[in-house]
Amino acid sequence: MSDTLNVISICGSLRKGSYNAALARTLPALAPPGLSIKAAPPWETMPIYNADVQRAGFPAVVTDWANAIRNADGVIIISPEYNWSIPGGLKNAIDWVSRMKDQPFENKPVALQSAAGGLLGGSRMQYHLRQSLTSIEAIILIRPEVFVTFAPKKFDEKTLELIDQPSIDMVRAQLVGFEKFVRDLSGKR
Ligand SMILES: Cc1cc2nc3c(=O)[nH]c(=O)nc-3n(C[C@H](O)[C@H](O)[C@H](O)COP(=O)(O)O)c2cc1C
């Protein structure tokens, strides 16, 4: 029996009816048996990054989020695209932890997913996240990629369950690939 890998999911949308949050909620059921996926602690009460505030001490919400990332074998970020890029709140959270001594994203395996209303499915956001996370030495899974395009058509209108089979298959394939990626990097068998 191999060790179960503990993975956390971080959602970039705070909206109650968020398609990205709905996508994040499907992950535990779609994951291979070797991956346990739980939601990261919330980031929405983080103040806007300010070095003066940092000097007085990292806020508890930042240290809690950083500890969850440190303690995880891997991280999956599921986020919408805002104006062709990373939602400001999520970027702010990443900026906060990037200033920590024991920087939590360093050498951390990360996978990216996005759902969006349009044709590109949040791809521009993912490429900006790849750039930003590379600057803080996260190790990002190249493929399989997950883009849920035309999101309102892929989720049940009432329950927000992911009902589009090709999208479900795409998520499953990424999670299988991510398990292998994390095991190869960590040496955990
Ligand atoms: C501020 C803002 C900017 C947006 N910019 C984009 C964009 O650049 N590309 C895109 O595909 N969708 C964009 N959208 C539409 C989102 O894809 C859509 O609202 C999506 O449902 C948001 O994700 P969520 O359902 O997880 O909240 C934008 C939405 C907002 C609120």
Which structure tokens are listed for 123?
């791809």
| Distance between Cα 85 and ligand 1 center (Å) | 10
82 lines ligand 1 (CB under 6 A): yes
Tell me the three state secondary structure of residue 107. Answer: coil
User: Relative to the CA of 120, which ligand 1 atom is closest?
Assistant: 11
If one residue of 10, 20, 81, 86 were mutated to test the ligand 1 pocket, choosing by the most ligand atoms within 8 A of its CB, it would be: 81
- Rounded to whole angstroms, how far apart are CA atoms 73 and 68? 10
The answer to whether the CB of 6 falls within 8 A of the CB of 73 is yes
Positive or negative, the CA dihedral 67, 95, 144, 107 is negative
117 lines ligand 1 (CB under 6 A): yes
From the centroid of its chain, how far is CA 167?
17
Closest CA to 30 of 55, 46, 7, 60: 7
pTM of structure = 0.98
- Rounded to whole angstroms, how far apart are CA atoms 155 and 143? 23
The answer to whether the CB of 26 falls within 8 A of the CB of 93 is no
Instruction: Please name the residue whose Cα sits nearest to atom 31 of ligand 1.
Output: 82
- Name the region of 121 (left: φ>0; alpha: ψ -120 to 50; beta: rest): left
> pLDDT 10s digit of each residue in the chain, 189 long?
579 999 999 999 999 999 999 999 999 999 999 999 999 999 999 999 999 999 999 999 999 999 999 999 999 999 999 999 999 999 999 999 999 999 999 999 999 999 999 999 999 999 999 999 999 999 999 999 999 999 999 999 999 999 999 999 999 999 999 999 999 999 998
Residue type, 163: I
H or E, element range at 75: strand 74-78
